[in-house]
Each structure stands twice: as C-alpha cells, then as structure tokens.
Amino acid sequence: MNKNKLVLLTTFMLLVSLALLGGCSAVDKDDKSITVEETNSVDVVAKEFSMDSFVEMVDGKPRPQFSEKTITVKKGDLVRIKVNVTSGSHNFNIDEFDVHAKTPTASETTVEFVAAEAGEFVYYCSMPGHRANGHWGTLIVVE
Ligand SMILES: [Cu+2]
C-alpha cells in the first residue's frame, strides 16, 4: 500500500514537473505577446496642437507671438504641442507644468506634458521683452 502510494506520488510529481516545464516555455512566449498588447493599450492618446512662433511687424514694431492664442484641454489630458518657429529666436514655457523648451529657429519642437491641474495658465516665450510684447497665450484646463 505504502509502496503503491509512493509510486503514485513519484509519478504525480514527475507529471507536475513536466507540466510546469512545458508551461514555463509557453508562458515565456505568451509574455512577449502580452507585453506588446500592454504597450498598445497603455498608449495614451495625446491631445495634439500645433502653432507657429514668429515675429510680425505691427505699426513698425516687432511683435513676437504664437499663432494660437488659446488652447483648451481637459484635466488629466496628455497634451502635445508642436511649436514651429518660423522667425526670430524664441522658447516655450508653461511654469505650472514645468515646461521649459528651447525652440530653435526654422524647426519644429514638440512639447509634451500632462495637464494635471485645472485652471488657466500662460504659455509664453521668455526671451527678453517677448512676453510683454505679446509672445504668450492661454492654456485652459477644464475639469
Ligand atoms: Cu519669443
């Protein structure tokens, strides 16, 4: 009786080990496809905007500005702004979201952040005199 039990137990253990070994390699393969699926599902869709950053002569004075004066998003949105500098030397800042980007002339710079707080915020260029002369806009984050 005892011997039979031992044989059964040994056989059982062997089968379990084989199943585990077989299972492990199958799990490994599955892991790869699961990772890909997770990457896809985690891909948050960003709210995307694009604007020009430039200098325009108004009444004989240079007026630096952004082509978009207002951007509205929802709280929690991943926001992506493409800033295309077509003339002058500028940068792009939103202090509250710790956005401080260099935006080289004649190129497009992509800025990304999560609008974690609701409210009205200013995006602006910090080059001397630019913000005071109009190089800013309003980011509205609604609840
Ligand atoms: Cu500027």
Distance 65 CA to ligand 1 centre (A): 7
* pLDDT tens sequence for the chain (143 residues): 455 554 554 444 444 444 444 444 444 445 444 444 444 556 678 999 999 999 999 999 999 999 999 999 999 999 999 999 999 999 999 999 999 999 999 999 999 999 999 999 999 999 999 999 999 999 999 99
List the structure tokens of 41: 């599902």
Distance 79 CA to ligand 1 centre (A): 21
CATH for the stretch 47-142: 2.60.40.420
Distance 81 CA to ligand 1 centre (A): 16
Instruction: Give residue limits of the domains in the chain.
Output: 1-43, 47-142
Distance 8 CA to ligand 1 centre (A): 81
Distance 69 CA to ligand 1 centre (A): 14
> What are the residues whose beta carbons fall under 8 Å from the beta carbon of 63, sequence distance 6 or more?
55, 56, 57, 133, 134
Q: With contact defined as beta carbons under 8 Å apart, do 105 and 87 qualify?
A: yes
pTM of the model: 0.70
Residue 41 is predicted with a pLDDT of: 54
Burial of 99 (C-beta count, 10 Å sphere; 0-12/13-18/19+) = middle
